[in-house]
Amino acid sequence: MAQQWHPDIQRRILPGPTAHAWGLVGAVLIAVCFASFGILIVGVGLSTVGITPNDLPYLYVALVVFLMSVLLIGRGSFSPMFWAVERRQKQERAEGYTTRLNAVYEDDVAVDVVDWRSGRVIRMAHEPLVESKYLVDKQAQIQDRIRLVRAEARAARAGLLRGPEGPS
């Protein structure tokens, strides 16, 4: 008989940034890329009106930030961020878990899906989700589980801080 899910099941996760964390870094880089591109567009637009030599360093900084973020984001599988996420995801799957939440909505996940913050299991391997044809129902179930595992982790940390005899 398979073990049933409950919020205090915990996995040992590999040290260092998780695949989910690398994905967040990639999302921040995309936001930085768009912001710096916007600054460049505004700067080039202002340069047609009349820009002073004192304003040029700001445009150079925006250009450098834009180019660096484009290089890191890359295009598809030619991206250093893609390589970092994929490498870490392969390491996690070899250990029997994943921290990528996009995998949680698949019908048959072969590994445990683990909360990247607490290391607690959100969905066990091969565990069926809510029987529904709507993704919204599955998302609601997963969000409830994430809230439960993080509350359990907070309670466990609070218990460790209070000591074994309870609150003082």
150 in the same domain as 101: yes
Residue-wise pLDDT for 116-168, tens only, equals 888 899 888 888 777 777 777 778 888 888 999 999 888 888 877 655 554 44
Q: Which residues 6+ apart lie within 8 Å of 12 measured at CB?
A: 119
152 in the same domain as 119: yes
77 in the same domain as 127: no
User: Could you give the number of structural domains in the chain?
Assistant: 2
**Cα–chain-centroid distance for residue 8?**
21
**Cα–chain-centroid distance for residue 151?**
19
51 in the same domain as 25: yes
Q: Helix or strand or coil: residue 123? A: strand
Q: What is the pLDDT of residue 107?
A: 59
113 in the same domain as 71: no
124 in the same domain as 71: no
Higher-confidence residue of 134 and 19: namely: 19
Average pLDDT over residues 69-85: 74
Question: What tokens appear for 26 in the block?
Answer: 């990639």
74 in the same domain as 41: yes
Please state, as a whole number, how many other Cβ atoms lie within 10 Å of the Cβ of residue 15.
6
CA distance to 31, 66, 69, per residue, from 42 (Å):
17, 14, 18
Per DSSP bridges, beta strands 121-123 and 112-114 are antiparallel
Length of the chain as a residue count:
168
User: Do the Cβ atoms of 115 and 151 come closer than 8 Å?
Assistant: no
Q: What is the pLDDT of residue 15?
A: 92
In a domain, 148, yes or no: yes
In a domain, 89, yes or no: no
106 in the same domain as 147: yes
Range of the domain at 42: 19-82
Closest CA to 133 of 113, 107, 110, 108: 107
Average pLDDT over residues 64-80: 73
Q: Among the ranges 41-55, 107-121, 128-142, which has the highest mean pLDDT value?
A: 107-121
Whether the per-residue pLDDT at 37 is higher than 70: the answer is yes
Q: What is the pLDDT of residue 104?
A: 62
- Fill in the DSSP letter of residue 122: E
